Amino acid sequence: MSVLRAEPEGAEPRERFDALSWLTTTDHKRIGILYVCTSLFYLCVAGGIAILIRTQLSRPENTFVGAHAYNQLFTLHGTAMIFLMVTPFAFGLANFLIPLQIGAPDMAFPRLNALSFWLFLCGGLVVFSGVLTSGGAAAAGWTAYAPLSVLRVAGGSGQDLWIVGVLMVSIATILTSINFITTVFIYRAPGMTMWRIPIFTWEMVATSLLVLVAFPSLTADLAMLLIDRHLGGHFFDPAGGGNPILYQHLFWFFGHPEVYVMILPYFGVISEIVPVFSRKPIFGYTGLVLAAFAIAGLSMGVWAHHMFTTGAVSNPFFSAVSFLIAVPTGIKFFNWIGTMWGGSISFETPMLFSIGFLINFLIGGITGVMLASPPIDFDAHDSYFVVAHMHYVLGGGSLFAIFAAMFFWWPKMFGVKLDEVLGRWTFWLMLVGFNVTFFPMHLLGLAGMPRRVFTYPDAGPLPLLNAISSSGSYLMLVAIVIFAINVVVTARRRVPVPADPWRANSLEWATSSPPPEYNFLKIPPIRSERPVFDARHPELAAETAR
């Protein structure tokens, strides 16, 4: 048991906040925390924007915000949530966890790691700096389709600042992926074979590989957009021999893998949390790993399922491959259920949010399979049905997993345990609020409400469904406020946290909470994907080794 008391004798907690050390740090744990805090900041910004959007849409023909302001709002909401919140949070979590989970002292390239964070931070600020320009921020949607995004009237310098800001964030993401893959390949501790690394780390390897092949397509597309906007290019202009469809191909070749970049890490989070609170090993470890790479690989071949209504792509090819992706995703679902099956399940907040993930993501997955069928897309594309689908997987899925991850790893990161009672309030308000906000959107799409509209006619069920949806969003706001209160209240309590407060499995729980700068004083023997569990239960060593 002594191996788990990793606190060196006489260690002093850091007393005063030293800003300069945070600006010059290359410690993966601090960089991870910087990412997490920055993405939570953007969650508040983009979430606040969402409240404004839902307020405008709460009544038909509302005048809370005008069309141009609204177009900037949904553009920034999508951009911030996708580029500045969901992915950076995952990368921050991975930054903190990967070296700990594989028994390494830091990432392979610490300064590159720090560079990635600061590029991300600066890039996000550049994107939002568009708000300060006379024409306003970018207003062509997070997808910035050409020819709309080429038009100067659709956004002047705001659109250009959006382009260069997103380019900076893309480069940061690519650099971090290089770091992750190298670290996992090279810096594993003795005995930590690839088939013993935690599922979260495996998911991050798959995610990083996806980033490497997908993001360059975006950077090329945005560079071509800049050339069309300012250097007399005609890549996307039919009058000059170009083709708007080219923009869409390059965008979605990035865009589809991007959504898997936004979910695979969170599949990893669920795969870490469910075994701990079911008191059983993860079921089907090999299947989960193979499924992750099947999803990643297939996701490179489905991009034009976002283009089914253009009439310019082979619908059958993309439909077939899109259906195939449902199979490995289903395998993961069954493996999580298999983990809970025959277990001893308790319902601490991380587990509540993980169960919420399963409930919500299933709906998102089912509507995703529906949307893979072009005949369904012919009605649902560009309607609120798609808005519902994407929010169920990203909000109901990734966001719930973000909360699960925060409640689970907060003690390890900050040496503070979040309050369980406030956590339960957050969970239930979030679960109800989320479903009240987004379930009606399926019906709104079927009733004929398109996406990206600042208002809608006072007809049919649109006013009622929109009012219900907006009320749900205010519930979500309350949930987030309660979470913020939780953070502040527990930060002041200063109750010390042991190395392994959850009786968990992977290597990060073998060191103090928070870990010392060098990560591990002593690493326990690694004979399976649960070295900390094995150290707690030496009597099971023979049957649990991998």
Considering beta carbons, is residue 28 or 412 the nearer one to other proteins?
Answer: 28
Q: Could you tell me the sign of the dihedral formed by the alpha carbons of 263, 265, 269, 272, in that order? A: positive
**Phi, psi dihedrals of residue 150, rounded to the nearest 5°:** -85, -30
The CB-of-471 to other proteins minimum distance in angstroms stands at: 20
One residue of 45, 115, 224, 263 binding other proteins per CB under 8 A: 115
> What is the largest distance, in Å, between two alpha-carbon atoms of the chain?
75
Considering beta carbons, is residue 25 or 207 the nearer one to other proteins?
Answer: 25
Using the rule CB under 8 A, give the single segment among 45-53, 391-399, 440-448, 482-490 that binds other proteins. 440-448
Site mask for other proteins (CB under 8 A), range 327-366, x = bound:
x--xx-xxx-xx-xxxxxxx--------x--xx--xx--x
Q: How far is CA 177 from CA 83, 107, 120, 294, 506, in A?
A: 15, 11, 13, 19, 22
CA 135 to CA 158: how far, in whole Å?
7
Rounded CA Rg of the chain: 23
The CB-of-353 to other proteins minimum distance in angstroms stands at: 14
The CB-of-119 to other proteins minimum distance in angstroms stands at: 5
How many chain residues bind other proteins (CB under 8 A)? 158
Grouping H, G, I as helix, E, B as strand and the rest as coil, residue 450 is strand
CA 352 to chain CA centroid, nearest Å: 18
- Establish if 1 lies at the interface with other proteins (CB under 8 A): no
How is residue 396 written in tokens?
A: 């109901």
CA 287 to CA 335: how far, in whole Å?
8
The CB-of-317 to other proteins minimum distance in angstroms stands at: 6
- Establish if 428 lies at the interface with other proteins (CB under 8 A): no
- Establish if 501 lies at the interface with other proteins (CB under 8 A): no
CA 112 to CA 26: how far, in whole Å?
8
One residue of 48, 147, 233, 501 binding other proteins per CB under 8 A: 147
- Establish if 152 lies at the interface with other proteins (CB under 8 A): no
One residue of 32, 165, 396, 472 binding other proteins per CB under 8 A: 165
Grouping H, G, I as helix, E, B as strand and the rest as coil, residue 384 is helix
Grouping H, G, I as helix, E, B as strand and the rest as coil, residue 383 is strand
One residue of 78, 105, 463, 501 binding other proteins per CB under 8 A: 105
- 285-299 and 264-278 helices cross at what angle (nearest 10)? 160
407 CB contacts (<8 Å, ≥6 apart)? 348, 349, 350, 353, 418, 423
Q: How many CB atoms lie within 10 A of CB 142?
A: 18
Site mask for other proteins (CB under 8 A), range 283-312, x = bound:
xxxxx-----x---x--xx-xx----xxxx
Which candidate, 169, 37, 27, places its Cα nearest to that of 104? 27
CA 379 to CA 421: how far, in whole Å?
44
CA 31 to CA 120: how far, in whole Å?
12
- Establish if 427 lies at the interface with other proteins (CB under 8 A): no
- Establish if 245 lies at the interface with other proteins (CB under 8 A): yes
- Establish if 192 lies at the interface with other proteins (CB under 8 A): yes
One residue of 140, 218, 292, 388 binding other proteins per CB under 8 A: 140
Considering beta carbons, is residue 489 or 540 the nearer one to other proteins?
Answer: 540
CA 270 to CA 264: how far, in whole Å?
10
The CB-of-296 to other proteins minimum distance in angstroms stands at: 9
- Establish if 189 lies at the interface with other proteins (CB under 8 A): yes
Cis peptide before 147 (omega within 30 of 0): yes
One residue of 178, 326, 432, 497 binding other proteins per CB under 8 A: 326
Using the rule CB under 8 A, give the single segment among 153-161, 265-273, 390-398, 508-516 that binds other proteins. 153-161
CA 491 to CA 120: how far, in whole Å?
27
- Establish if 263 lies at the interface with other proteins (CB under 8 A): no
- Establish if 507 lies at the interface with other proteins (CB under 8 A): no
Considering beta carbons, is residue 285 or 502 the nearer one to other proteins?
Answer: 285
Using the rule CB under 8 A, give the single segment among 37-45, 82-90, 99-107, 400-408 that binds other proteins. 99-107
Contact 163, 222 (CB under 8 A): yes
Instruction: Indicate the DSSP class of residue 214.
Output: H
Q: How far is CA 400 from CA 156, 255, 369, 391, in A?
A: 36, 22, 21, 11
Using the rule CB under 8 A, give the single segment among 39-47, 187-195, 264-272, 418-426 that binds other proteins. 187-195
Applying the rule CB under 8 A, the residues between 25 and 84 that interact with other proteins are 25-27, 67-68, 71
**Phi, psi dihedrals of residue 301, rounded to the nearest 5°:** -115, 15
Considering beta carbons, is residue 140 or 482 the nearer one to other proteins?
Answer: 140
The CB-of-163 to other proteins minimum distance in angstroms stands at: 9
Considering beta carbons, is residue 105 or 498 the nearer one to other proteins?
Answer: 105
- Establish if 456 lies at the interface with other proteins (CB under 8 A): yes
- Establish if 496 lies at the interface with other proteins (CB under 8 A): no
CA 440 to CA 446: how far, in whole Å?
10
> In this structure, which amino acid lies at residue 456?
Y
Applying the rule CB under 8 A, the residues between 462 and 481 that interact with other proteins are 462
- Establish if 213 lies at the interface with other proteins (CB under 8 A): yes
The CB-of-494 to other proteins minimum distance in angstroms stands at: 27
Considering beta carbons, is residue 424 or 487 the nearer one to other proteins?
Answer: 424
385-397 b/e with 16+ CB inside 10 Å = b? bbbbbbbbbbbbb
Applying the rule CB under 8 A, the residues between 369 and 398 that interact with other proteins are 369-370, 372-376, 378-379, 381-383
The CB-of-478 to other proteins minimum distance in angstroms stands at: 26
How is residue 488 written in tokens?
A: 């502040």
- Establish if 191 lies at the interface with other proteins (CB under 8 A): yes
